[in-house]
Amino acid sequence: MAGSTDRAADLTIQEMARRSGFTEPTLRYYEKIGLLGRVARDESSGHRRYDPATADRVEALACLRSAGMTVSGMRRYLDLLARGDSAAAEQRDLFAVQAEKLAADIERLRLRLAYLRGKADLWDARVRGDTDAEKRAIDDVTRVMNQFTD
Amino acid sequence: MAGSTDRAADLTIQEMARRSGFTEPTLRYYEKIGLLGRVARDESSGHRRYDPATADRVEALACLRSAGMTVSGMRRYLDLLARGDSAAAEQRDLFAVQAEKLAADIERLRLRLAYLRGKADLWDARVRGDTDAEKRAIDDVTRVMNQFTD
DNA sequence: TCCGGCACCTCAAGCGCTTGAGGTCAAACC
DNA sequence: GGTTTGACCTCAAGCGCTTGAGGTGCCGGA
């Protein structure tokens, strides 16, 4: 029958956390505030079991969250989802906007990564007592930092 | 004289926020919990003024924070800073570790960006009633989602 | 059989900001 | 010369998790 619980594809909270990048407490928290709807439980143990549909939903939320979406934004998304194809244009716009935000974030992070690597190089030069490499490293870091200004 | 406050290079809290990516409240908060040491104030208005040395420190903290470093981690970093060249090896390791973490984070985010773009395409196909493009978009998204599994 | 050890559970408190309320001061405009 | 605008201030409360305390049930040895 439909809605049966015999498929072993359901995820434990640990697996769900690994896939989504949310921590286990966060998953419990999201459930508590109503973002995940009803999450099934294993009959005997009472442990959570994430079915494929719920897992997809959690993964979508994780991507939106990465793009900086707040909990209330996620609720709005879930409302759109419930409206199905009649909200297709809104869905498209929502994903497009979040994608742009995330792309911009990633650019900023790449700069910061360059900074961290530059600083690692700088201290490495100091450890090695290589004053030439140190000068070059300082130049590099300075060049990166100037890009923060914009 | 040394330590004079006449250079106009000092940043307002707004400018500091823009450069560092921290919000203004976060900058006030960090100051309050002792991460920034003493931040100078404009004599007449009482407004904060971030001098170049403080600004550098804030930018370093911002990069470390991007890599997921906690407040207590940042305190440890500031301790190392205070120890100067005698802690060079630790500094190198700290920056190297954070750089690797950030690099891994960025990789995960790129995947999520691909997901968001894929979903935007999918809903766009639905808006346009293009069932062929919709099928392709579903395939794309599915392919991306499979990569979450690892 | 009993003994970890581990994955999960709940509930409460804490942390790291964020938001809001309420106020000061300085330049800018009627 | 008032008044509006905008950047800043402080203090308190709220939000979104995170951490910790304390407990249950299962599973693989000794």
* CA/C1' separation B43–D1 (Å): 27
Beta strand pairing status for A40-41 and A48-49?
A: antiparallel
Confidence of residue A96 (pLDDT cuts 50, 70, 90): very high
Whether B88 shows a pLDDT value over 70: the answer reads yes
Whether A10 shows a pLDDT value over 50: the answer reads yes
Average pLDDT, chain B: 92
pLDDT in tens, A59-75: 999 999 999 999 999 99
Residue closest to D16 C1′ by Cα: A71
Whether A8 shows a pLDDT value over 70: the answer reads no
What is the rounded CA–CA span in Å between residue A47 and residue A26? 16
- Report CA A20 to chain centroid distance, whole Å: 7
What is the rounded CA–CA span in Å between residue A112 and residue B65? 10
Whether A127 shows a pLDDT value over 90: the answer reads yes
Q: How many C-beta atoms surround the C-beta of residue B109 within 10 A? A: 19
- pLDDT, residue B8, reads 62
What is the rounded CA–CA span in Å between residue A123 and residue A117? 10
Q: How many C-beta atoms surround the C-beta of residue B21 within 10 A? A: 18
What is the rounded CA–CA span in Å between residue A134 and residue B126? 56
What is the rounded CA–CA span in Å between residue B116 and residue A95? 6
Nucleotides of C under 7 A from a protein CB: 7-12, 15-20, 25-26
pLDDT in tens, B112-144: 999 999 999 999 999 999 999 999 999 999 999
Q: How many C-beta atoms surround the C-beta of residue A51 within 10 A? A: 16
In this structure, what DSSP letter does residue A41 have? E
